[in-house]
């Protein structure tokens, strides 16, 4: 019986439904792990996470289980492997388990089944999986492994049950999406389980983007004293360590993790990169207005895909200022991207002429402003169709919250990197990116968003001398109220008690409720907050309640 367990934590970027590709990544990870006893992969590493209603297809679960058995055969003679997969004990059961399977010697050596199925935020597992109620350690290479899948790590009784039944090490494969603050929560939870049981805790998480979710990885091993060793964030890789009987862990120094704006920036870049690539696109197109939102989206796209895959278009109207034109050009030059200029004024004149008879006797209003936005959206979608590139949307969460966006105009697109990023955070991310960038980013170093773009008053430039604050409160005020209404689910009276003007809060809440129909037609975007629109915050479109 070995006194040391040599483990490799495989941080993988899997794709839902790509069983062949997912198994290939696992085989590569086993090869790269070298001379170890056990390779641990993330939750549902075979099927990809979250598989959602694919699990209702019996043929899909059957295919996943067949892929597991084939992987066991393919890796016979190497280390044992822990893989995540949907698993049916009874072929006639309505729901499979969310399971981790231990493969060793070409066979399935044991199966652990998830106990707690999350049903909050982006999670909806009771819809697709059956819950288990009797976790048991699995013996592998002379060690008793206490497997607790993702949510189970957060419940102390699961760790205690495994310890009481002889587990010598706790292993928690995760499919844990990124959101602000979750890294600290995971570390505290894992340390708590290690302190309570006296056993080392292995945390393995997937990395990369899947639909609107972004996974940050950050595999680690914790003991009662805290984190002993960890891997980097937002990158695939292998973390090797030794675990001695009695709980001593030996591994590399913990990786240095970026914080605050850097962490948020890496998340939106990762989400954008994988959504575009996993959707089968190589290139993206976006409107570059000279404003801060489109400039930041351009920088995100370049860091995600490389400048040769980003196409920016200026779409000036009669209201577009000279400085905005110059700022857009300077930004495109700094990023090294292709930029074209297509004036929309001929289209505006044609459309207003076509509508003149119907509009006779009316005065220009928001209709004419929206017409400009919709023409821009149409032009960009035409380029997307013709050149085969995905159109990126550039609106931020503050604008989406209060409906400061035009359906079938600036809301057009296949993906919105800033959908869950408040306007005040947009400014902070722009400044961060001008002074730093992720080590794996594909864009240039240095200032890529001209200072003039960051400091000038935000404007949609759809009428003379227009400023965002003509229609909205200052963004510092707006975002503080929105975060109370959205992230904390507070009402006007509660926010008034915190010092906000109650009439202003009620006005913003009214805008938030009335814009629900727009948000339900908006493109997906990277989830980075606790309450993203669509994934987490699900309000009725038609809603007569105002508190």
pLDDT digits (tens, 9 = 90+) for 400-424: 999 999 999 999 999 999 999 999 9
Pairing, β 38-40 against β 80-87: parallel
Is 394 labeled as ligand-binding? yes
Helix axes 502-514, 475-486, angle to 10 degrees: 70
Is 424 labeled as ligand-binding? no
Structure confidence at residue 121 (pLDDT) = 81
Is 399 labeled as ligand-binding? yes
The yes-or-no answer to whether 4-257 and 278-469 have a common fold is no
Is 342 labeled as ligand-binding? no
Q: Does 269 have pLDDT greater than 80?
A: yes
- For residue 155, give the nearest of 107, 121, 117 by alpha carbon: 117
pLDDT band at 505 (very low <50, low <70, confident <90, very high): very high
Average pLDDT, stretch 153-165? 95
544-to-485, 499, 508 alpha-carbon distances in Å: 17, 27, 16
Q: Which two tokens stand for residue 276?
A: 């575009």
Structure confidence at residue 9 (pLDDT) = 97
360 is catalytic: no
Is 250 labeled as ligand-binding? no
Q: With beta carbons less than 8 A apart as the criterion, state whether 272 and 430 touch.
A: no
150 is catalytic: yes
Distance, CA of 234 to CA of 267 (rounded, Å):
7
- Which listed residue (23, 64, 100, 114) is catalytic? 114
Q: Does 468 have pLDDT greater than 70?
A: no
Domain boundaries, the chain: 4-257, 278-469
- Which listed residue (23, 43, 419, 527) is catalytic? 43
Average pLDDT, stretch 277-283? 96
Is 120 labeled as ligand-binding? yes
Q: Does 343 have pLDDT greater than 90?
A: yes
Structure confidence at residue 181 (pLDDT) = 86
Is 208 labeled as ligand-binding? no
Architecture of the 4-257 domain:
4-Layer Sandwich (3.60)
What is the SS3 string spanning 61-117?
HHHHHHHHHHHHHHCCCCCEEEEEEEECCCCCCCCCEEEEEEEECCEEEEEEECCCC
Q: Does 433 have pLDDT greater than 60?
A: yes
Distance, CA of 48 to CA of 50 (rounded, Å):
6
Structure confidence by residue, pLDDT tens digits, 93-137: 999 999 999 999 999 999 999 999 998 888 889 899 999 988 999
Is 289 labeled as ligand-binding? yes
> Which residues are paired to 5 by β-bridges?
243
Q: With the CA atoms of 491, 495, 497 and 501 taken in that order, what torsion angle do they form, in degrees rounded to the nearest 10? A: -120
Buried b (16+ CB within 10 A) or exposed e, 531-545: bbbbbbbeeeeeeee
Is 288 labeled as ligand-binding? yes
- Which listed residue (64, 100, 140, 150) is catalytic? 150
Strands (E), 151-205: 169-174, 201-205
Average pLDDT, stretch 50-65? 94
Q: With the CA atoms of 325, 327, 333 and 339 taken in that order, what torsion angle do they form, in degrees rounded to the nearest 10? A: -30
pLDDT band at 545 (very low <50, low <70, confident <90, very high): confident
Structure confidence at residue 540 (pLDDT) = 84
Distance, CA of 392 to CA of 131 (rounded, Å):
39
Is 105 labeled as ligand-binding? no
Structure confidence at residue 1 (pLDDT) = 55
pLDDT band at 226 (very low <50, low <70, confident <90, very high): confident
Neighbours of 120 (CB within 10 A): 8
Q: Does 459 have pLDDT greater than 80?
A: no
Is 287 labeled as ligand-binding? yes
Residue range 278-469 in CATH 3.40.50.300: no
Phi, psi at residue 57, to the nearest 5°? Answer: -85, 110
76 is catalytic: no
Q: Does 318 have pLDDT greater than 60?
A: yes
Residue 141 zone, left/alpha/beta (φ > 0; ψ -120 to 50; rest): left
Structure confidence at residue 458 (pLDDT) = 73
Structure confidence by residue, pLDDT tens digits, 19-45: 999 999 999 999 999 999 999 999 999
Average pLDDT, stretch 453-464? 77
Of residues 495 and 92, more confidently modeled: 495
Structure confidence at residue 246 (pLDDT) = 85
Q: Which two tokens stand for residue 389?
A: 């590139």
Is 541 labeled as ligand-binding? no
Q: Does 546 have pLDDT greater than 80?
A: no
Flag the least confident range among 194-203, 317-326, 334-343, 465-474: 465-474
What's the pTM value of the predicted model, to 2 decimals?
0.93
Q: Does 461 have pLDDT greater than 70?
A: no
Average pLDDT, stretch 365-392? 94
Distance, CA of 37 to CA of 41 (rounded, Å):
14
- For residue 461, give the nearest of 349, 372, 396 by alpha carbon: 372
């Amino acid at each position: 019986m070995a006194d040391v367990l040599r483990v490799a934590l495989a941080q993988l970027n899997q794709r839902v439904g790509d069983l062949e590709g997912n198994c290939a990544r696992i085989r590569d990870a086993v090869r790269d792990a070298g001379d170890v006893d056990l390779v641990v992969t993330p939750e549902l590493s075979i099927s990809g996470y979250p598989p959602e209603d694919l699990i209702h297809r019996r043929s899909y679960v059957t295919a996943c289980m067949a892929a597991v058995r084939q992987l066991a055969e393919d890796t016979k003679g190497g280390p044992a492997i822990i893989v995540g997969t949907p698993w049916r004990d009874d072929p006639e059961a309505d729901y499979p388990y969310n399971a981790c399977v231990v493969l060793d010697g070409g066979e399935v050596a044991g199966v652990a089944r998830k106990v707690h199925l999350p049903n909050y935020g982006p999670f909806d597992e009771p819809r697709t999986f059956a819950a288990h109620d009797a976790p048991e350690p699995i013996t592998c290479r002379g060690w008793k492994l206490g497997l607790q899948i993702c949510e189970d790590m957060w419940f102390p009784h699961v760790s205690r049950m495994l310890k009481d039944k002889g587990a010598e090490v706790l292993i928690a494969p995760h499919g844990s999406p990124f959101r602000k603050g979750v890294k600290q929560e995971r570390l505290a939870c894992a340390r708590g389980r290690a302190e309570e049981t006296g056993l080392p805790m292995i945390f393995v998480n997937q990395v990369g983007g899947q639909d609107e979710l972004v996974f940050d990885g950050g595999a680690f091993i914790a003991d009662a004293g805290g984190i002993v060793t960890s891997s980097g964030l937002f990158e695939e890789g292998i973390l090797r360590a030794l675990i001695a009987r009695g709980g001593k862990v030996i591994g590399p120094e913990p990786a240095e993790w970026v914080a605050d704006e850097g962490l948020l920036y890496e998340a939106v870049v990762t989400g954008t990169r994988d959504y575009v690539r996993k959707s089968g696109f190589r290139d993206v197109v976006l409107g570059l207005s000279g404003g801060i939102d489109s400039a930041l989206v351009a920088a995100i796209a370049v860091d995600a895909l490389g400048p040769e895959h980003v196409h920016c278009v200026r779409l000036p109207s009669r209201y577009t200022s000279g400085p905005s034109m110059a700022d857009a050009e300077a930004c495109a030059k700094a990023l090294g991207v292709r930029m074209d200029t297509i004036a929309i004024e001929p289209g505006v004149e044609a459309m207003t002429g076509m509508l003149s008879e119907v509009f006779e006797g009316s005065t220009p209003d928001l209709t004419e402003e929206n017409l400009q936005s919709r023409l821009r959206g149409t032009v960009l979608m035409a380029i997307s169709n013709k050149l085969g590139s995905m159109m990126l949307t550039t609106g931020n969460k503050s604008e989406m919250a209060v409906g400061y966006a035009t359906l079938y105009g600036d809301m057009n697109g296949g993906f919105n990197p800033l959908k869950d990023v408040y306007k005040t955070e947009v400014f902070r991310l722009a400044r961060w990116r001008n002074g730093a960038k992720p080590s794996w980013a594909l864009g240039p170093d240095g200032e890529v968003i001209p200072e003039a773009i960051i400091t000038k008053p935000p404007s949609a430039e759809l009428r003379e001398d227009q400023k965002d604050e003509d229609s909205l409160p200052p963004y510092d005020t707006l975002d503080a109220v929105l975060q109370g209404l959205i992230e904390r689910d507070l009402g006007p009276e509660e926010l008034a008690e915190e010092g906000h003007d109650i009439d202003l809060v009620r006005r913003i809440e009214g805008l938030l409720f009335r814009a629900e129909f727009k948000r339900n037609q908006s493109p997906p975007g990277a989830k980075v907050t606790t309450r993203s629109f669509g994934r987490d915050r699900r309000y009725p479109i038609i809603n007569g309640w105002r508190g």
